[in-house]
Structure 1
């Protein structure tokens, strides 16, 4: 009697217990222990593929071809023997066609790795995009992948494209070097493409950085985030946590645009720019339509030939104005500039010569007067003649002839009068 009687379970509790047992049995019905799969296995590790894994080779031949620019021809001819040897080791044939400017790779009977033809395709792509051959041959390794990022079509403005591409490289290549160190990838910017080589995770980061840079997002933001992630990865306590709270969040700032030049000048001068119009309750007058304007000018009644002639005449007049303007601009280049400041050596020498000529003329006049005055009393009525003879003594024959002609003309004029 001292022993307490146990209460019997109810019908509802029994039903619940049966249902739970059925659920458990269904959930683990097909689960069995797998001795080859345990927590110590790295499922992301890339297992090496050897010749013993596929001793029979491939059934069909696969091939890929790509074109290369003319300036790469000389370099490819030099390194092609090394490329051929590297591909021969993995059982892939290659061909360099200088006539068409193309490179071709294909599988052979000795090829055992089915994925190596994709690696060979990436190799010729990298070689055509100016990647050095020693670096491009590393793509044949199992842990190395390649990505060709096209950046030419992301932006239309050529000037902006060049500036943003240079921003990706950075001063002395510092930005590109930081990206390579943080992503463990090789990056080469060439023309309208960016060639990248490295692990899958790094290639994904490189593509995001490159595309965002061309879309006007500076690479330094991504570089900061990558540096923080690298430090967080070293802490095992944060391995399974969300890192969003540690990463920087950059907000877009709407920077006020610069004022136009005219508005800036008016603001500097103290003006208010455009004056506010007075409010009027009446609507503005209706603007004339295109047909109204044609009716006013008379163009509406012209035939197609007349309209064409009128348009050609207007174009010819505009072209003639442009030609005259260009001619004036070309002639302006030949107009000597005004000389300011101290006189040059040439001008000094010219002034000295003019002064010497003046002094010589004055001395000649003095000598002529002295010679004319010393004619003496015996000269009589021939005093003027003596004066002329004294002057002739200091003149050259051409000057004498000129003076005599001038005297003859004067005498003729006097006789006519």
Structure 2
């Protein structure tokens, strides 16, 4: 049962965990939230995989670009998605802390539904151009920047704090299992009938919006004093900057994935190195998510409790090492196996990082801190794609992936030294300063 906004003058009451309801799925609102996240992610990941493949294939087939030139276009695709994220992240975090969070997330879903409908039409009439794909990818970046903080800030308000680590693992299962099904389904549907993949995505986004509307309203926590919106946006960034523990946790992911992100090169490896076609690109995405799901299920059943910081650091190092090995692989089966391990390592670090951030952030700051974390994740993903595309244009796709993976291992070692707070984090207990709330 979700928490209901209390009468004026009373403190909000969180639902209490009981011995008979230890699972997050015991709470109806969390079940709606879980399914809404699952369907939305399945839709958007399927779209992202197909957009990347369509852009690369269009650049090669319709524009006559070489492998290096078309790889650079994939890098630009990441850049155009990052620009709206960079510009709008403070606004999105403020919106999640100021407005009813479900409505913000539903509005984001509807933007993605519009994108799916547009892409479906232009695919049907064979009217896709690079500029159209870039423009719609940028609009998808706008939708994602508002969805992320709002969805992240909902979960802590619909389950009790004691259940939150398991809820985050369950939420990750929704994300990652959808990331297994979405890319594989998207690639197969696209290979059979290109425009149909966008019909598939549009239906799922509509289902997600309807399901999320069933969650009871999640009002932002009341603030003692309302300040100017710009001041409140800056407050969120300042909180992350001052709290070194949060800063180290967020920036570790930023720089590791910025360097080791290989997903932008999946269309290149699928089409021109492994000769696997669009189905292969979908299977690569699905393999990463499969490893993530396996770890997420394990963590939902038995969450880790001790030496969480050191384990997070080792997980990031393994992520970098498997990226190096993937870059050298010329076998589809070996590549998929390496991507499963990569996804498992990434999921482990994501679980630890997500739990640490949520439990080390006061509720009235969660939207803005989640936005800052989301910006770091998006910067690492989209700018990582730009980095990979630019390096692939100069060194080739294999060199771009291998050097990036090695760089992530180096970043992990450096961050363990610069931020000893990460190594010293034994449990998920809140560590923010007393005056920070």
Indicate the TM-score class for this superposition, using the shorter chain for normalisation.
under 0.3
TM-score of the two chains, using structure 1 as the length reference: 0.18
TM-score of the two chains, using structure 2 as the length reference: 0.18
Larger radius of gyration: 1
